[in-house]
Amino acid sequence: MSANDFQKCVDFHGHVCPGLVIGYRAAKAGIEWLREKRAEDEELVAIVETDACGADAIQVLTGCTFGKGNFIYKDHGKHVYTLAGRKSRQGVRVALKPGVMELKERHRQLIEKIRDEKATEGERKEFWDLHRQKSADILEMPLEEIFLIETVKPQMPAKARMESSKPCSGCGEPTMASKLGSIQGKDICRDCAAKHQI
């Protein structure tokens, strides 16, 4: 891994933030673990339990992506990242420890102000200074203070299949046949089915 790996993550994500640094350090730790176990030769699967900033670093560093079907999102709202070989299921679970992402009171105040659109220019600048500082702190922390790292054998998702599409009877849009439901004998996509219910 090269020295500008972190910069690649920043370029992809668009800014430096503590969440991105967590994802970056988790990916590095996971990849290092797999290398030691020689599981890196087979196709990697990444399972992320958050859709926040950190997930972007995982995609950049592992090369696992949504489109390839080897990047799995679980909506758990946790900084937990699992990397595993698809065949051996030999894997590593990297979970954020409590307290690491805790922010100073002023930092939290500023986040609220920005969320409520009440922050001044100066306060925005102050927020980004604190955000960058927190990011730099996490970048320097010893790994074992950030994460709990465990060996796991996760269930592997089915490989993405090539599948033909059929038009939805509601909107007419071509839809993977296995994703169409049936309403009154008609093939209906999930989007149309949800609107139907309202």
From the CB of 127, what's the least distance to Zn ion, in Å? Answer: 13
* Cβ-contact 90, 41 below 8 angstroms: no
* Dihedral over Cα of 6, 10, 13, 15: its sign: positive
189 binding Zn ion? (CB under 5 A): yes
> Among 26, 53, 84, 110, which residue sits at the site for Zn ion (rule: CB under 5 A)?
53
16 binding Zn ion? (CB under 5 A): no
Cα–Cα distance for residue pair 68/176, rounded to 1 Å:
16
CB-count burial class (<10 Å; 0-12, 13-18, 19+) for 128: middle
171 binding Zn ion? (CB under 5 A): yes
Of residues 65 and 165, the one with the C-beta less far from Zn ion: 165
Stretch that binds Zn ion, among 27-35, 46-54, 77-85, 126-134 (CB under 5 A): 46-54
Element holding 190 (H helix, E strand): helix 190-197
96 binding Zn ion? (CB under 5 A): no
From the CB of 37, what's the least distance to Zn ion, in Å? Answer: 30
